[in-house]
Structure 1
């Protein structure tokens, strides 16, 4: 009987862990329910643990701002806070500011304060921390996963979203921060159309950039995952299929690689087809102009006339 109960406990624990892992997996998680790239960030005012109130719009960095939603109970929050401190220390001089938003529980419990204080101390975070005591901002932004990050430009517009803080998300965040600060030029692929004139989704481009980096570092499984993320955002992204094919080939998965190449070729051909209107115009231009018959039409030369003079 005791063994049966113990087995049930283990089963429930395993199920709970599986659910949590599923929720925290960035590729499966919805990003933000009410916040998207290009939106102007919703302003808010929240208190620090010391009672000071901070307002987002008054705390924006000269060039970029990171808003990080985190919790002491979240295992991925601690490494994120540490990494953000490193990024902040490196780029504060370049115009970056960081604000941590603690989202411990929907109902505030002062007994949680020591855990929050300890988490901040362990991360050595020197940037401001505010407390979202009733989840008002959490819900306003539509946060789904903890931790999550919103990156803003100097105007307070959202330029990137990171959820779950995976290794891929971590690398993408660093790239996005540098680009927003103007320290690196945006990749040509972001604005450049492919040969057929097709312009891919910008978020898909970001995923592909990471896939190409992983491919160059021989991190083929990560390259595969990032390429698939790009395809999930833009199902007709030719280059994403080609990078995926290469990543699969490097893993010895020849059939899957060949299938990805076929998809790339399919969409490549589709993008290169001219629009229907252009086809009709091409036909008209290619059709030779009909030659007018002799003696007809506005450009016909007048044939000579014979005039008979009758003497008077």
Structure 2
């Protein structure tokens, strides 16, 4: 969408927290003020998908947030750094991706963008159902609604048939067609906002089902670890379980402890139910590191 229309979308989604575009050639993060007191907050990140220019280090005046520079030691030549960061870092922590077709050159541009991300692949070790969902936002460009539907259906068929690895990168893809620009901004983007809410609800349900609904502490620590991992080896899989054990202040070597514990428990003739319960509790407490659990 044109920049002016894109700003209207963000203003509609973020309510009063949207104060215009921030840095160009950067990823800007905003919170939906309407979710500040909700159980689950909604964060929106917007950026230019087709611009390959990255923000220079320490560009302009320093903001209120801490700046941290992480050097990249190696980079594949087949893909841009921006696309690698999207595919193998950001998408591991994103629940939903919204692509505005007009921003990337129409449906053909959408196909190119998605196909490129699919070829790069996801770095996540989590189940495929945890991959982010995709909403493609379109506007009516022809006089025939039927033709628009056929074009969208063909795009879905084309991507799924020519990119067999699609579901390894994304768990779902859907379309959202915006109404005419003659409507007010609130009315025009109402269906888009509803689609986002439904997709986020379904994603949250899936993550809870698979026990991967991370807390804010999880996200912060895991994102920092994943950032260093991708800068050191961009094509290596990021193992979420192994990452939680890095710099672990607790000893994760259970074998020798279990042997001694079982030997002493046998001598004391302690019931097996009590032994198993105690061992399970100890392992569980070790898995939840200090500050990595919610109350």
TM-score above 0.5: no
Superposition TM-score tier, normalisation by shorter sequence: under 0.3
| Structure exhibiting the larger radius of gyration computed from Cα positions | 1
Looking at both structures, which has the greater relative contact order when contacts are Cα pairs under 8 Å and sequence separation is at least 6?
2
